Structure formats: C-alpha cells, structure tokens
Amino acid sequence: MTFWIGCTPARTAFVTKFRILIGAMHSGKQGSRALQLAIPPSTLSNYWSGRRMPRVRTLRGMYDAVRANSSTADMPVTLAELEALRMNALTDSRARDTQAACAIAGSLPEARTPQAAAEPSGGHPAGGPAAGPAQDRRSTENGKVLETLEVLRSARASGDLRHLIGTAWSASRTLSQTEFCEAVGALHASADVDLAEALLLADGQRDADDTMRLALALMAAGLASSAELIMRASLPSGGDVRR
C-alpha cells in the first residue's frame, strides 16, 4: 500500500481513488486484474504505486473494464472524479517541474530571464538585433503556432496557470516537431522564456524515445539548450526513464 516516493499529495489522492476502483473487481490478484484491464501487469503496478499516470483514453478503458468485471452493482468512484483528480495531479506535477526547470535553466545560455533576453549580448536594446540561433530570429507564419503562442500569452496575462499548462500540453501533442521547435524558438525570440519552458516540459509522460527524437529536432533547429533541458527533465540518470 505504499506510494512511489515521487508522488505529490495530488497524485497520491488520484492513486488512492484508483486503488478503490481496481479493488471493486472480482479478482483480487493483480495479474488477473491486469489481464481483464488489457494492460501488462507491470503497467498496473506502476499505476498502483503512482509511478506512472494513465492517459485519459487508458483510464476510460480501464474504467469500462472494471465496470464489466465488478463485484458490486454501483461503482465506488465515478469516472468524472478520477479524471478531475488525474488532471489535478498532472497540473501539480507540471507546475513543480517548471519551477525545477527554472533552476536547471539558470546555467543554460539560451534559457535566460525575460529581462536578459530583452537585452541581447553586445548591449543592444530589445528593439535592436536579436540574439540566439537564426531560427529564433525568424518570425513564424504558421497559423497553428501563432494560435498556440497567443493562447499561452493570454493565459499567462490572466494568471490562469491551469489553462496555460493545458495549452502547452495540448501543443506538445498536436504540433509537429517542426512546429514545436518553431514555437519554442519564437518564444525565446520574444523573451517569453517562461512560456518556452512550460511548452518544453508540459508533457510529463513523454517516453525516452520521444524525448530523444524531440531533442534531436531541437538541436537541428539550433535550440541545443532547449534540447538539453528536456533531456535533463525527462531522462534522469539511472533507473526507469519512463514517467
């Protein structure tokens, strides 16, 4: 009944309800439960401890499977409650990751404070020559990228952290690698370093392969420090690299 050492209080709250849900199944053995849930036993174990969080589609599929294999007439927890707890857990985790990334980014030349980014090296004012890679200096004309940047800035201006993180997460899933790199570069060029970091770190469940592919794309776009940031955040040394 222990929880993964990295669980936040919000994640622990989700896992507690998740365990109650799984406990409603006919079988008391995790192997049998995993088979009925159509997931590997190791995946169920990770969900059970809180080490990993199920995606929305996976959570809904498991909920339906539990309902079909439940020993009670009424479900002990609603799907809406689980989804809300899951979102709270991810929001809490991403906010913490972003704060940690700010400390990491302090040693990265690209990830400067907005004030420093507004005054590039050489003493040029904000309206003067732009600093950073050539890709950062080019304005974007991609509609999806422009819309993402506008929503991110609007959410920050209104203080809506949840909407900001949700938008960043959605962008990390829907933008192509080229568009994603373009968005990161544009945010650095406009001194929106905090938003660039939020975009880079929004997908807390990016696996090792996806992380490496994105890092290579960022490096190819001249955003090596951003590549280093996501690798530091997503690929801890030693142990299981999956999140």
173: Cβ–Cβ under 8 A, 6 or more apart, which residues? 203
Q: What is the pLDDT of residues 167-223, one digit of tens each?
A: 888 888 888 888 999 999 999 888 888 898 888 888 777 777 788 888 888 988 888
Position 144 scores a pLDDT of: 84
Alpha-carbon distance 220 to 127, whole Å? 27
Alpha-carbon distance 6 to 51, whole Å? 7
Q: By C-alpha distance, which of 70, 42, 54, 68 is closest to 18?
A: 54
Please tell me the CATH code under which domain 9-87 is placed: 1.10.260
Position 105 scores a pLDDT of: 44
Whole-number average pLDDT of the chain: 77
Alpha-carbon distance 159 to 146, whole Å? 20
Q: By C-alpha distance, which of 85, 81, 99 is closest to 7?
A: 85
Q: CA 218, 88, 58: angle at the middle one, nearest 5?
A: 75
More confident residue, 179 or 119: 179
70 phi/psi in degrees, rounded to 5: -95, 150
User: Which residue ranges make up each domain of the chain?
Assistant: 9-87, 116-234
* Residue 109 pLDDT > 80: no
SS3 state at 60: helix
81 phi/psi in degrees, rounded to 5: -65, -45
* Residue 86 pLDDT > 50: yes
